[in-house]
Amino acid sequence: MSPVAFVVVGHVDHGKSTLIGRLLVDTESLQDGRLEKVRQICREQRKPFEYAFLLDALEAEQLQGVTIDITEVRFRWRERQYLIIDAPGHKEFMKNMLSGAAHADAALLVIDAGQGVQEQSRRHAAALRFLGIKEIAIIISKMDVVDYSEEVFHAIRVEYERFLASIDVQAKGFIPVSAADGENITCPSSQMGWYRGPSVVEFLESLCSVDGVTSRALRLPVQDVYKFDERRIIVCRVESGHVSVGAEVQVWPSKQRAVIRSIEHWPETADVATCADVKEAVGFTLDQQLFVQRGDVITDPAHAPRVANFLAASVFWLGRAPVRASGRYKLKLATLERDIEVFSIRRVMDSGSMEVRTGEVGIGQNEVGDVVLKSSRPFVFDIASEIPATGRFVLLEGYDIVGGGIVLEAEDLYRRSYAEGLPKSTSISPVHEAVTPADRAAAYGHRGHVIWLTGVPGSGKSTIARSLERGLFSRDIKAFIVDGEKLRFGLSADLGFTELERREQGRRAAEVALLFAQAGLVAIVALVSPFNADREYARTLIGEEHFTLVYLHAPLAVLRERDPHDLYVRAAADYPIPVPGLTAIYESPEGVCLRFDTSVESIEHVSHAILDRVLAIIR
Amino acid sequence: MRAAADAHVDSLAALEQESIYILREAFSKIERLAMLWSMGKDSTVLLWLARKAFFGHVPYPLIHIDTSYKIPEMIEYCDRLVRELGLELVIGQNTKALAEGMNHKRGRLVCCTALKTEALRQVIEQHKFRAIIVGIRRDEEGSRAKERIFSQRSQNSEWDVADQPPEFWDQYRTDFPPGEHVRVHPILRWTELDVWRYIEREKIPVMQLYFAENGKRYRSLGCAPCTSPCDSSAESVGEIIAELSATKASERSGRAQDQEHSHAMEKLRLRGYM
């Protein structure tokens, strides 16, 4: 087990370093020379003994009496190792505080009993929440200064608890201490009989080491590809899941698949003991020579990552210059790097004053804001709440990290590729509905779905669609046909029959079908949809699990005979509308769920086969 | 609750994997890379980790800063390893200062700055290195505890400790302006005890100077005039681990330059000392 890492945060001068110094002394964790060295420095500076100097090693820190940068020290208490991260409390050093706190399992947030809740007390709590640290104890320090008053302690506790509730943080406890007198550090206080909770060390003992890898989904961000010898070794860190020889994997964004042929080690005889809670830096070879590069993500095929040109995120801003809409930065997410543009800024919170502003154009230093970022090359990522390591990123301006971000859920954004152009409105942001898909499914008795019927004119799409609609309706399932022709009277009245216009027709049909499916209905799309790219667009937009692609076909002789719109007759007479499959392209569909030759199989048989499959999915 | 022995195994595995990740990150992102190699236990572990990270290869040169005052056994060990492993070695030496008779009697900080800091600066300039991998650890000394994993240095190798860039979520500063270089610290989070436990686990050969002879052994290695052995009876890696688990004496207590001034190491390091 790795040491339990905890960060000590709070407003400047509230006694963080003194608390840690006292912890080190009382747990007898100091090296021999250390205490003597600090005594010598204090003598040189003609000051009384300062516990804080044990941590604040830099000369400038000692002269000014403030912590500038983070320090890490260890101590052992009752057979357990602890790693203390001392973070600066001064506003100017927020970036250092974040650097320290980012790899902590827990936090002690220190508030001076005499001064009460201050700006950084609030800001730091907001930062801990942003970093996802949940094990937080509030230390009310310098209780000796207020004569160990229970009233003072309670007043601060009530005020601060109210604040924490407003940012959705729950503290694990409030501990009154005096580091100077050593009260409630390692053992219960003799001065504060009214307090019955744990001492600082007892609180730390109650923590479990929080370990990273929790999800079953495999996530291997590609770090590099080595060719030192005849082997072509792909190196990645296992951010989530498990790698094994013989497993099939998929590379993103290319979607190519391969099988892991070998896992490489040096020395070759190495006894490889993989620990469940260690993120392993692995090297492996694949059974096929795929083009793989740094920034790609390798996953198991069952758990696809999100791939999109947009990211909706909550951003913690450290830069001196504020973030502006249409500002350009570099984004680093695991090993992926992208040049990005800020597409929109929705909501900004000043974590110090807790003031929330909407419709803002900028996010200032130390503020948190919700943004949408865009890139011309797609991002490969996850939602931070599902897989943290591939759901968070940093932003760079020039050479400097100026912000951190966590990816939010925003399916409306992630499922569209926007190949034909971006939304023209930059004030849009992901909407969260009051009635969820699960609510609808419970009320209707089934989930929403899209049945997509593709095929050349005359292949039987409209006929099958009507039969399906009737069949679903008679089973109490809400269904509706999205017919290509019907769209052309209204929504697509502006479209003709060029290749570009057919593609746009496909996109609109997909968007309409998605809305029906989101409303909880089964949408039946009857559309020639001649291009694979458009059918794929619909599949990605609507989601694999809600999408059934059906390919209907028949021999040309049968099509000519049916000829519902006299297209084949007119085509023969050089009529200017191209007929897909005859005088225009119809790409034979890929990724089809079901296919039927309607010259052989009856309408009843085809609809039953489709219904069987769909009913099993939606109910 | 797992047994204490298992706990060390897990903790070492986590440190090892993080160090490998950092070494690969530096190699992937930075063109002209080199690794500082002092032949001590930390450099030796670092070299081992590099061979793990690159599957037996060491794809960049090692730098040895030759002060001419190193303990002779260290030089023998260096030559042997370079030969056996086929390493590319770059030697840095401030020949001008040595010709002018620089030694520790002129002041230890002055001597360290001339023969180590300045020699390193010259090597970096001469070979146009953009990143130097260094085996320092946070638990060694106060100013090292403040370090970043990727720590930038100005053109003159200076360290701006009061304004270090943020470093979180394993996103390191791998891009920096021309002229500057970066110090990469892959074992920053290890402790002295971790290093010895890892040497034991991996059976990594280390120099004989670390083991007790006539009741004395070296805990930290450097130049002969400024490094003294400590009292010890530890004759094996296992005994060293047992000794360190019990001691409260500081690792660098045998290094004279640290004792010269209250903030000696900080002063050395601001100017580019490792």
CA B33 and chain centroid, separation: 16
pLDDT in tens, B9-54: 678 998 999 999 999 999 999 999 999 998 899 999 999 999 999 9
ipTM, interface predicted TM-score of the complex? 0.91
pLDDT above 60 (res A397): yes
CA–CA distance, A379 with A252 (Å, rounded to integer): 10
- Residue A67: its pLDDT value, please? 59
Q: Share the mean pLDDT of chain A.
A: 86
Return the pLDDT at A103: 81
pLDDT tier, A149 (very low <50, low <70, confident <90, very high otherwise): very high
**A523-560: pLDDT as tens digits:** 999 999 999 988 988 998 898 889 999 999 999 889 88
> Looking at CA atoms only, how far is residue B101 from chain A in angstroms?
31
Q: Which residue of A has its CA nearest to B8?
A: A1
A223 touching B (Cβ < 8 Å): yes
Chain B, window 133-172: residues with a beta carbon less than 8 angstroms from a chain A beta carbon: 138-139, 141-143, 145-146, 148, 161-162, 164-169, 171
pLDDT class for A15, splitting at 50, 70, 90?
confident
Chain A CA closest to residue B49: A266
Strand residue runs (E) in A132-205 = 135-141, 173-176
Confidence tier at A212 by pLDDT (50, 70, 90): very low
Beta carbons within 10 angstroms of residue A330's beta carbon = 17
Residue from B103, B92, B96, B94 nearest B61 by CA: B92
Work out the minimum CA distance from A96 to partner chain B, whole angstroms: 6
Between positions 278 and 297 of A, the ones with CB within 8 A of B are 278-281, 283, 294
Band (A89; pLDDT cuts 50, 70, 90): low
A2 contacts on B by Cβ (under 8 Å):
10-11, 14
Contact B187, B45 (CB under 8 A): yes
Q: Residue A213: its pLDDT value, please?
A: 44
What is residue A470's predicted lDDT score, i.e. its pLDDT? 95
Mean pLDDT of A42-64: 71
Residues with Cβ within 8 Å of A282's Cβ and at least 6 positions away in sequence, in order, are A220, A235, A236, A237, A238, A243, A263
- Residues A569-593 have a mean pLDDT of 81
Flag residues of chain B having pLDDT under 50: 1-5
Interface membership of A210 toward B (CB under 8 Å): no
Cα–Cα distance between A129 and A122 in angstroms, integer?
11
Q: Is the pLDDT of residue A596 over 60?
A: yes
Contact A224 B27 (CB under 8 A): yes
Query: How near does any CA of chain B get to the CA of A144, in Å?
Result: 30
Tell me the shortest Cα–Cα distance from A414 to chain B, in angstroms.
Answer: 24
Q: Is some CB atom of chain B closer than 8 A to the CB atom of A318?
A: yes
Dihedral sign (CA B111, B112, B118, B124) = positive
> Does A294 sit within 8 Å of B145, measured CB to CB?
no
Cβ atoms of A603 and A467 closer than 8 Å: yes
Q: Does B48 touch chain A (CB under 8 A)?
A: no
- For A:179-198, CB contacts with B below 8 A are none
The answer to whether the Cβ–Cβ distance between B250 and A31 falls below 8 Å is yes
Local confidence band at A271 (pLDDT 50, 70, 90 cut-offs): low
Q: pLDDT band at A261, cuts 50/70/90?
A: very high
Q: Are A426 and A343 within 8 A, CB to CB?
A: yes
Q: Given this model, what pLDDT does residue B3 score?
A: 39
Contacts of A37 in chain B (CB under 8 A): 262
Give the best residue of A79, A239, A394 to mutate against chain B (max B CB count within 10 A). Answer: A394
Mutate to test the interface with B, among A31, A41, A97, A337 (most CBs of B within 10 A): A31
Cα–Cα distance for residue pair A512/A492, rounded to 1 Å: 11
Q: Which of residues 53-92 of B touch A (CB under 8 A)?
A: 53-57, 59
Q: Return the pLDDT at A69.
A: 61
Say which of A1, A233, A401 has its CB closest to residue B55.
A233
pLDDT tens digit string along A352-391?
676 777 766 789 888 888 898 989 888 999 998 889 899 9
pLDDT for the residue numbered B144: 82
Is the distance from CB of A264 to CB of A273 less than 8 angstroms?
Answer: no
The pLDDT, as a whole number, for residue A61 is 63
The whole-number pLDDT of residue A63 equals 60
Question: Chain B 203-222, CB below 8 Å of chain A: which residues?
Answer: none
The pLDDT of residue A412: 73
Q: How many CB pairs under 8 A join A and B?
A: 159
Q: Which two tokens stand for residue B133?
A: 């991998």
Residues of A numbered 13-42 whose beta carbons fall under 8 angstroms of chain B's beta carbons: which are they?
Answer: 30-34, 37, 40-41
B169: nearest CB among A58, A102, A233? A102
Q: Closest chain B residue to A231 measured between Cα atoms?
A: B55
How confident is the model over A184-195, as a mean pLDDT? 89
Quick one: pLDDT at residue A432? 60
B21 has a chain A CB within 8 A of its CB: yes
Q: Of chain B residues 213-272, which have a CB less than 8 A from chain A?
A: 248-251, 253, 262-263, 266-267
Query: In Å, how far is B185's CA from the nearest CA of chain A?
Result: 15
How far is A307 from A304, CA to CA, in rounded Å? 9
Q: What is the pLDDT of residue A37?
A: 76
CB B237 within 8 A of CB B208: no
Chain B residues touching residue A99 (CB < 8 angstroms): 148, 164, 166-168
Work out the percent of chain A whose per-residue pLDDT is above 90. 45
B20 φ/ψ angles, rounded to the nearest 5 degrees: -65, -40
Per the CB < 8 Å rule, is A231 touching B55? yes
Adjacent-strand bridge partners of A176:
A140
Give the minimum alpha-carbon distance from A45 to chain B in angstroms, rounded to a whole number. Answer: 11
Counting Cα atoms < 13 Å in the Cβ hemisphere of A184 gives 24
* Cα separations in angstroms, B61 against A150, A179, A616, B37, B262: 63, 49, 63, 10, 35
Does the pTM of the predicted model rise above 0.90?
no
Q: What are A280-290's pLDDT values in tens digits?
A: 999 999 999 89
What does the pLDDT average to over A156-171? 91
User: A59: which chain B residues are within 8 Å (Cβ-Cβ)?
Assistant: 262-263, 266-267
Flag whether residue A427 sits within 8 Å of chain B, measured between CB atoms: no
User: Residue B251 has what pLDDT?
Assistant: 78
Q: If pLDDT is split at 50, 70 and 90, which confidence band does A40 have?
A: confident
CB contact under 8 A, B6 and A228: no
The band of A145, judged by pLDDT with boundaries at 50, 70 and 90, is very high
